[in-house]
Amino acid sequence: MQRYIIIRLIQSVFTLIGVSIIVFSLARLSGNPLDVLLPDEADDETFIRISELWGLNDPWYIQYFTFVKNASRGEFGPSFKWQGRTAMELVILHLPATLQLASISIGVSVLLAVPIGVMSAVKKGTMLDTVGKLIALLGQSLPSFWLAIVLIWIFAVQLGWFPTSGRGGFSNMVLPAVALGWFSVASFMRLTRSSMLNVLDSEYIKLARIKGLPEWKVVWKHGLKNAAIPPLTVFGAIVVGQMTGSVTIETVFAWPGVGLLALQAVNARDYQVIQAVTMFISVLFIGMNLLIDILYAYIDPRIRFN
């Protein structure tokens, strides 16, 4: 088990290096930031001076190593757009809003999706299964930005139950959490259902019944633990997706999270912030996958021992 974790950790480090190269180069591909940041009437001298100041004239590999050195200390440099703030500060500043929204939405997704998914599989072909499938179908096919706008129109504008946008009390969270979470509920539920259906068909489930185990134990112990792996894989992606803030949802609801920050940074070609956000998301993603890999091994001994 320890060896397994160590190997996964080393693999993660390599992934991280790969990501840093991609993040670094992608930002450079979007053009010279000074074209956007400096006013049109800025003269060549200012151009050269600022380029010099920010190291934009150095060869790319020097720029890359500077980037890695600073990034490993959490320094991504000052923001171009938000003067007087560092990129990391901005990410940390926007993080609580995103975390708050994501944790509510993920928590509710899991609490809804797992039981409905399992029960749809157990009661395949019944009313419950049909309702479950409908929820999943809608969740996976409605674009979240459209859903967000429709939710605002119905529940905020027409009915006035919730505020239209912004961050505040609990009522502010309901609509964005629903808009953000529905898709996750859908994909999570579908996977749980199909995975569970496979497992329920297996011989060891038959054996568990032959032994005389009560049905709840057959389903929730013998069934669910075996069925957990495919949904768990998606769970990792969903968690990261929501933590990094769905850009569209945060934009529609003017939710001051990391997603909104990223969008604004991209619009302003704010290299440092883009890099900080992207690296942050990547580290989160890699960390999450590592955690999921460890969970796999915990669930399935065949992974643990190989």
- The residue count for binding another protein (CB under 8 A) is 24
Type of residue found at 242: Q
Residue 269 near another protein by CB under 8 A: no
- Among residues 75, 89, 129, 300, the one that binds another protein under rule CB under 8 A: 300
Cβ 279 vs Cβ 76: under 8 Å? yes
Residue 305 near another protein by CB under 8 A: yes
Closest approach, Cβ 225 to another protein, in A, equals: 5
Which of 183, 223, 221 has the alpha carbon at shortest distance from 203?
223
Closest approach, Cβ 109 to another protein, in A, equals: 24
Residue 299 near another protein by CB under 8 A: yes
Q: Which stretch binds another protein (CB under 8 A): 11-19, 163-171, 184-192, 205-213?
A: 205-213
Residue 31 buriedness (CB in 10 A; 0-12 / 13-18 / 19+): exposed
Residue 157 near another protein by CB under 8 A: no
- Among residues 214, 254, 267, 291, the one that binds another protein under rule CB under 8 A: 214
Which of 37, 66, 89 has the alpha carbon at shortest distance from 261?
89
Query: What's the DSSP call for residue 75?
Result: -
Q: Which is nearer to another protein, 56 or 299 (CB)?
A: 299
Closest approach, Cβ 122 to another protein, in A, equals: 11
Residue 210 near another protein by CB under 8 A: yes
State which of positions 103-132 bind another protein (CB under 8 A): 125
Cβ 129 vs Cβ 197: under 8 Å? no
Which of 265, 257, 278, 133 has the alpha carbon at shortest distance from 192?
133
Q: In whole angstroms, what is the distance from residue 227 CA to residue 223 CA?
A: 6
Q: In whole angstroms, what is the distance from residue 113 CA to residue 100 CA?
A: 20
Residue 53 near another protein by CB under 8 A: no
Q: Which is nearer to another protein, 84 or 125 (CB)?
A: 125
Q: In whole angstroms, what is the distance from residue 199 CA to residue 182 CA?
A: 25
Interface with another protein (CB under 8 A):
125, 202-204, 206-215, 217, 221-222, 225-226, 299-302, 305
